[in-house]
Amino acid sequence: MVSDALTGAERLVHAAAGAGVQVCFANPGTTEMPLVAALDQQPGVRAVLGLQENVCTGAADGYARITGHAAMTLLHLGPGLANGLANLHNARRAHTPLVNVVGDHTSWHLPYDAPLASDIAALAATVGTVRTIADSDSISEVTRGAIDDAHRMLGVSTVIVPADHQQHRAPEPPSEPTKPLARTGVGSARVKEVATRLREAGSRAVLLLGGNSLTRAGQLAAGRVASSTGATLYSETFPARAERGGGLPNIDRLPYFPEAALAALTDADAVVVTGASDPVAYFGYEGIPSVLTRPGTLVRLAQPHEDAEEALLELADLVGADTPVPRVVAVSVPNDAAALTGRTVGQVVAACLPDGAIVSVEGGTCGYPFYTASAAAVAHTVLTNTGGAIGQGLPCALGAAIAAPDRPVIALQSDGSALYTIQALWTMSRERANVIVLIAANHTYNVLRTELGRHGNSEFGPQAAALTSLANPLVDWVTLATGLGVPASRVARVADLRHALTDAVASGGPYLIEMGL
């Protein structure tokens, strides 16, 4: 479409839509009003409002993990971007293509250091690339460039758009094609080298899977490699997206705590890293090395941005492996009257999972036990918190539901982390997102109590106790969710959870279940 009367904001939206952007997770302010108006003037981009920016960025991350295409956010100046940075950090660690559009003061107003002025570019640079629109004429080209950045790097890019350039009218240049997300191939030489290392190491090899090696095809190929060479399979501890269940091999996650992670890797003569980052300890603990592999044992098959799935398929063919017959394992279901614990919750959720569900997991209390139980579940997709900035699970579930309206989404969520971005519930309600939120309500930052113990403070004082407790007052999750437009109920026993979850799946979300642990 060529028009001689498009505002800069309209040309930006037009360029984004032309490059395949379909959804914009937005929390705009005054300096983004031309962009808000443009979303109605130019077709193709659906706006979804978040009440706080970290909801928008986390939802964009979840959306892009499911669609494989860049999601867009619209944020208000430096403070709006700052509010969304934590989930952009997680998106960066997830290698998610994501484009932020951040408004700025009218360009000629910037030198006057008005109250809302701040260093937007410095903030954005901490999570990815930054481009600033210097004149209205370049707005389409720069927008396409930012989307290309996100797809090429598998990362976060930010476009800063001063308000005057949004308002300025000019002819729309003809659309130009943009590049879809395409992963770089690994090359046969590397695959052959890895095959040799695997054959040498035999059962003293580990394949550590991440990136797009955790597709169904990738995991099946990894299963063939394992059955042929004797290698052990691990998924990275916090995969951005992993298929699971439905007959896939039971690939456990590399343990979180470094002693167990070290035990899993240190005896291996070859640790073949395939789409994952190098395995290092999550935190540095005295007496435990940062690097979890022995010197010389780390072998790189594919970088996170490379095509790990294709490399695994080639590797499986090379080592001459047949597809192993999947072991069908029944899901263990706990006793109806049993209390809810991490383990029983994990088992119930695995047993009740609807086919094709997406499960957004945040928090260890139920997250680890669920992963243990879910190998035997129906086919589903798991999304986890890749960067450790908590408050990611609910927004990610929201974005996934918007990306895949035909798939039920379960947010298996610890209470402490849920409270960082609790505003996500409101957007779930507004968008009628099919998300069932399961809150593991133990009213404690439990991992911090463990960590206090690790620092030699197993008996901690009143201030440490208060700083790691969410009791006093107890958050009433049912009331809180209702206040934000999401119906909810509370369960305390296995049978209650099973019934509530089954009913919620049948009725569709959004719905919240407070699980008293």
Q: Which of residues 79-98 bind a second copy (CB under 8 A)?
A: 79-80, 82-83, 85-86, 89, 93
E strand or H helix at 368: helix 364-374
Of residues 67 and 166, the one with the C-beta less far from a second copy: 166
The piece of 245-253, 369-377, 393-401, 415-423 that touches a second copy (CB under 8 A) is: 415-423
User: Among residues 448, 495, 499, 502, which is the contact residue for a second copy, using CB under 8 A?
Assistant: 448
| Residue 22 makes contact with a second copy by CB under 8 A | no
E strand or H helix at 271: strand 270-274
| Residue 116 makes contact with a second copy by CB under 8 A | yes
| Residue 464 makes contact with a second copy by CB under 8 A | yes
| Residue 28 makes contact with a second copy by CB under 8 A | yes
Of residues 376 and 425, the one with the C-beta less far from a second copy: 425
Instruction: Provide the CA 326 distance to its chain's centre, in angstroms.
Output: 28
Of residues 177 and 461, the one with the C-beta less far from a second copy: 461
The CA-atom distances, in angstroms, between 213 and each of 5, 193, 207, 311 are: 47, 18, 11, 8
Nearest CA to 49 out of 467, 507, 402 is that of: 402
Of residues 76 and 498, the one with the C-beta less far from a second copy: 76
Count of residues touching a second copy (by CB under 8 A): 103
Distance separating alpha carbons of residues 500 and 101, to the nearest angstrom: 40
The piece of 242-250, 297-305, 336-344, 468-476 that touches a second copy (CB under 8 A) is: 468-476
Of residues 60 and 494, the one with the C-beta less far from a second copy: 60
Q: Among residue numbers 310 through 349, which ones bind a second copy (CB under 8 A)? A: none
Q: Among residue numbers 284 through 313, which ones bind a second copy (CB under 8 A)? A: 284-286, 290-291
Nearest CA to 288 out of 278, 298, 280, 296 is that of: 280
| Residue 461 makes contact with a second copy by CB under 8 A | yes
Distance separating alpha carbons of residues 253 and 234, to the nearest angstrom: 5
Distance separating alpha carbons of residues 327 and 227, to the nearest angstrom: 13
Least distance from a second copy to the Cβ atom of residue 278, Å? 8
Least distance from a second copy to the Cβ atom of residue 261, Å? 12
Yes or no: say if 179 and 69 are a contact pair by the CB < 8 Å rule. no
* One-character DSSP codes across 415-451: HHHHGGGTTHHHHHHHTT--EEEEEEE--B-HHHHHH
- The 3-class SS string of 139-195 reads HHHHHHHHHHHHHHHCCEEEEEEEHHHHHCEECCCCCCCCCCCCCECCCHHHHHHHH
| Residue 102 makes contact with a second copy by CB under 8 A | no
| Residue 151 makes contact with a second copy by CB under 8 A | no
The piece of 15-23, 113-121, 203-211, 394-402 that touches a second copy (CB under 8 A) is: 113-121
Yes or no: say if 212 and 275 are a contact pair by the CB < 8 Å rule. yes
User: Among residues 20, 22, 118, 175, which is the contact residue for a second copy, using CB under 8 A?
Assistant: 118
Q: Among residue numbers 370 through 409, which ones bind a second copy (CB under 8 A)? A: 386-391
